[in-house]
């Protein structure tokens, strides 16, 4: 089984936006490097990443949640190879974390912030050992700086994150950290 990259990002990103295009490009690049893509399975960033990966022959897993489907009448995006259904939101986040060998956080709202917070806390506690957590964009950097300046977050906790400006930088960080030199990822397998 190939290494899987879990992407966290917002559902409200529109298909004609620069954020959608960047997320789609991320999916394309991940698939080109042989990574599987894991998303929340719905619209916005999740759809864009799924679409990009699928267009490059990648495998896409969507982790959906009953409350979203029921409350917001959402259906999974059409680019999923596999849907993993969960009953509750925290179960969904747990499954997204469980399936990922690394994580990329793109722009999003409260749900994405919750996903980042949980993954970051797990990294701080040592649960995500050797599983990179990459945070993309100046918006997130401002959020993190605000947490340090005005809340009880300590600067040293940033060492568990890779702050990068673009999806290209995220892909470069992933390949540098996860792929041996001279490989494209296709022959790599998840370690137990």
Q: Where residue 114 sits, what CATH number does that domain have?
A: 3.40.50.450
**Cβ contact 99:128 at 8 Å:** no
pLDDT at 184: 53
In a domain, residue 187? The reply is no
**Cβ contact 174:5 at 8 Å:** yes
Could you tell me which of 27, 34, 72, 38 has the C-alpha nearest to residue 179? Answer: 34
In a domain, residue 96? The reply is yes
In a domain, residue 28? The reply is yes
In a domain, residue 111? The reply is yes
In a domain, residue 109? The reply is yes
The 3-state DSSP class for residue 159 equals: helix
In a domain, residue 184? The reply is no
86-91: long-range contacts at Cβ-Cβ below 8 A with a sequence spacing of 24 or more? 89/65, 91/65
Tally of domains within the chain: 1
pLDDT at 181: 62
pLDDT at 59: 98
Q: Which residues of the chain have pLDDT under 50?
A: 185-192
Q: Does the reported pTM lie above 0.85?
A: yes
pLDDT at 3: 95
CA 8 to chain centroid, in Å, comes to 4
Range(s) of the domain holding residue 102:
4-178
Strand order in the sheet with 60-65: 82-86, 60-65, 36-39, 4-8, 102-105, 133-136, 162-164
In a domain, residue 192? The reply is no
Give the whole-angstrom CA distance, residue 48 versus residue 79: 9
In a domain, residue 185? The reply is no
């Amino acid at each position: 089984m190939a290494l899987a990259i879990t992407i966290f990002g917002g559902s409200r990103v529109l298909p004609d936006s620069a954020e959608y295009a960047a997320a789609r490009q991320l999916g394309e690049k991940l698939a080109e490097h042989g990574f599987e893509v894991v998303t929340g399975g719905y619209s916005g960033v999740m759809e864009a990443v799924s679409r990009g990966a699928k267009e490059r022959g990648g495998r896409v897993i969507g982790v959906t949640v009953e409350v979203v489907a029921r409350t917001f009448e959402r259906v999974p995006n059409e680019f999923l190879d596999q849907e993993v259904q969960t009953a509750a939101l925290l179960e969904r986040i747990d499954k997204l974390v469980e399936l990922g060998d690394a994580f990329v956080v793109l722009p999003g709202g409260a749900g994405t912030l919750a996903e980042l917070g949980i993954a970051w806390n797990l990294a701080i506690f040592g649960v995500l050992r050797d599983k990179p957590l990459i945070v993309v964009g100046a918006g997130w950097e401002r959020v993190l700086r605000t947490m340090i300046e005005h809340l009880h977050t300590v600067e040293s906790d940033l060492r568990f994150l890779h702050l990068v400006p673009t999806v290209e930088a995220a892909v470069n960080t992933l390949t540098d950290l996860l792929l041996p030199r001279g490989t494209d990822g296709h022959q790599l397998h998840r370690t137990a």
